[in-house]
């Protein structure tokens, strides 16, 4: 039996502006994990993927080409095994919230690749795993940016520029983040399309905001590398104001951001697409408890505290 895990992710800085060529920073969230267990199955069964939480059971040889779980299993087996349909049972579980911008699809795919590699005693670099997972991200998201598979397979912060690439970078002093869910469901596609319309109607209004976000992201990377948490917190606050000006925040997000600050967070902002979803706050060991309480009192449906190092 082999067991492997992969974390979730959040976007720390630069969401939306990244669509317009400015940089973004994403970090792994190790507090939540997808897990995959590979065990020998019955003779002749082929590969069976079981997801007990989702009450799903998939027989590989019956699965469609574009089924994401089947796709990642087939891609991985083509590299690590001479037999494309060995008798194996793969059990998948995950604590990464689904459809909340936390990379649940990429986390599950990464855990499966890692578990199969271990089972077949085959070594793949993080980059090779990331490239495999990207191919299934296309099935989940249509036109994925590549952020999720990269940050999740490297398990390090990444600095990402669309069409140019990404760099893994180092954290000068560990960052403690509280990630709170508004409970409001939004569609990334819809928010991105809405901003695109407004951007095209009035580029002169939006370009300076996007440019400033780009500067904030570049500065944020430097402060993360230097371990300057107070300054980083102030940049999160500024990034949130800029996202409000882009019209992608909402009252629920603004309320949680204000609550985190009143609880003593060093900074707070929405994270991901907006109009709902998650916000993040930079906290310390001293403030994490108070911020958690303030967030829940302000309506957060879930609070995850995670350390980035």
Which of the residues are catalytic?
148
Distance in angstroms (rounded) separating the CA atoms of residues 248 and 14: 13
CA distances from 286 to 172, 230, 263, 298 (A): 20, 14, 11, 20
186-209 burial code (b ≥16 CB/10 A, e <16): bebeebeeebeeebeeeeeebeeb
Secondary structure letter of residue 98 according to DSSP: T
* CB of 129 vs ligand PMV, minimal distance in Å: 19
Site track for ligand PMV across 17-46, x = CB under 6 A: -xx---------------------------
Question: Which residue in 147, 150, 40, 157 sits closest to 90, CA to CA?
Answer: 40
Site for ligand PMV in 91-130 (CB under 6 A): 101
Site string for ligand PMV, 242-281 (x = CB under 6 A): ------------------------------xx--------
49 binds ligand PMV (CB under 6 A): no
Farthest CA pair distance, the chain? 65
What is the enclosing helix (H) or strand (E) of 133? helix 126-141
> Quick one: 50 exposed, middle or buried, by C-beta within 10 A (0-12, 13-18, 19+)?
middle
Site track for ligand PMV across 168-207, x = CB under 6 A: --------------------x---x---------------
Instruction: Determine phi and psi for 231, rounding to 5 degrees.
Output: -65, -35
Q: Which stretch binds ligand PMV (CB under 6 A): 15-23, 54-62, 104-112, 249-257?
A: 15-23
Quote the DSSP letter at residue 97.
Answer: P
> How near is the Cβ of 93 to ligand PMV at its closest, in Å?
22
Candidate segments 8-16, 31-39, 42-50, 130-138, binder of ligand PMV by CB under 6 A: 8-16
CB of 294 to ligand PMV, least distance (A): 23
**Contact code string over 127-146 relative to ligand PMV, x by CB under 6 A:** ------------------x-
Give the interface with ligand PMV as residue ranges (CB under 6 A). 11, 15-16, 18-19, 101, 145, 188, 192, 272-273
């Amino acid at each position: 039996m082999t067991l492997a895990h992969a974390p979730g992710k959040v976007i720390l800085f630069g969401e939306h502006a990244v669509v317009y060529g400015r940089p973004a920073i994403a970090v792994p969230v190790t507090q939540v994990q997808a897990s995959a267990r590979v065990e020998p199955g019955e003779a002749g069964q082929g590969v069976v993927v079981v997801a007990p939480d989702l009450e799903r059971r998939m027989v590989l040889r019956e699965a469609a080409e574009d089924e994401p779980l089947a796709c990642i299993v087939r891609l991985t087996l083509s590299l690590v095994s001479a037999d494309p349909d060995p008798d194996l049972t793969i059990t998948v579980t995950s604590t990464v919230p689904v459809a909340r911008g936390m990379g649940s699809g990429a986390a599950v795919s990464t855990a499966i690749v890692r578990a199969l590699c271990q089972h077949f005693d085959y070594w793949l670099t993080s980059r090779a795993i990331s490239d495999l997972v990207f191919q299934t991200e296309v099935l989940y998201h249509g036109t994925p940016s590549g952020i999720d598979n990269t940050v999740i397979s490297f398990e390090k912060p990444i600095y990402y520029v669309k069409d140019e690439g990404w760099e893994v970078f180092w954290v000068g002093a560990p960052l403690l983040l509280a990630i709170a869910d508004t409970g409001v469901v939004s569609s990334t596609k819809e928010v991105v399309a809405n901003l695109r319309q407004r951007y095209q109607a009035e580029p002169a209004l939006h370009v300076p905001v996007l440019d400033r976000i780009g500067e904030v992201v570049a500065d944020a990377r430097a402060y993360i590398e230097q371990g300057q948490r107070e300054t980083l917190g102030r940049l999160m606050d500024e990034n949130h104001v800029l996202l409000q000006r882009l019209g992608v925040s909402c009252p629920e997000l603004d309320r949680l951001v204000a609550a985190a600050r009143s609880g003593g967070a060093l900074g707070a902002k929405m994270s991901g697409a907006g109009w709902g979803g998650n916000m993040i706050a930079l906290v310390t060991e001293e403030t994490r408890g108070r911020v958690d309480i303030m967030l829940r009192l302000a309506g957060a449906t879930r609070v995850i505290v995670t350390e980035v190092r």
